[in-house]
Amino acid sequence: MIIILIGYMASGKSTIGKKLAKKLNYDLIDLDDYIEEKEQLTVTDIFKNKGEIYFRKQETHYLKQLLSANESFILSLGGGTPCFGNNMELILNETNAKSIYLKASLPKLVKKLIKKKAKRPLIAHIETEEALTEFIGKHLFERSAFYNQAEVVVATDGKSKKEIVNEIVSRLF
């Protein structure tokens, strides 16, 4: 089974993905890392040199490639991946895959991202906590229709990483 982790940036996809992979003895594939390896460019450079439309087309291409694998692994998607093209439809129609939405609250996301915004090109330019809250809130509103289509929704606020991993495992197996 392919376990697909979706959610907003800083929702825990990478961290939970690593812990879940260890618990289940699965490989973890980060879609952005996979794209960078295949394209021989960073995601930032792809956006800068080839544009977002090119990136989104390649993202869908590599998502399809990974979904067609007859293997078990954990796939961590970029925050925007489910929201573009027919990516969410591809995920939901794949019989060998289960999608998990790691749902973090707006205050929790802001608290985590305010410290890391320099490393996040999408929000690096945002100056104040109020502006960041407004930006993330707007994004979450736009993206929640896609995220909430996931087969399993796991609210992460107030839970340890171990509790989140155990909840995912208990809801999948």
Say which CATH number the domain at 99 has: 3.40.50.300
- Return the pLDDT at 25: 97
Binding residues for ATP: 10-15, 120
Sign of the C-alpha dihedral computed for residues 68, 161, 12 and 87 taken in this order = positive
Burial of 20 (0-12, 13-18, 19+ CB in 10 A): buried
- Return the pLDDT at 34: 97
Binding residues: 10-15, 32, 56, 79, 120, 143
Q: What is the pTM of this model?
A: 0.94
Range of the domain at 94: 2-172
- Return the pLDDT at 91: 97
Binding residues for substrate: 32, 56, 79, 143
Local mean pLDDT, 10-residue blocks, the chain (173 residues): 96 96 97 96 89 93 96 95 96 96 96 83 86 95 96 97 98 93
- Return the pLDDT at 125: 85
Residue type, 148: N
Count of the separate structural domains present in the chain: 1
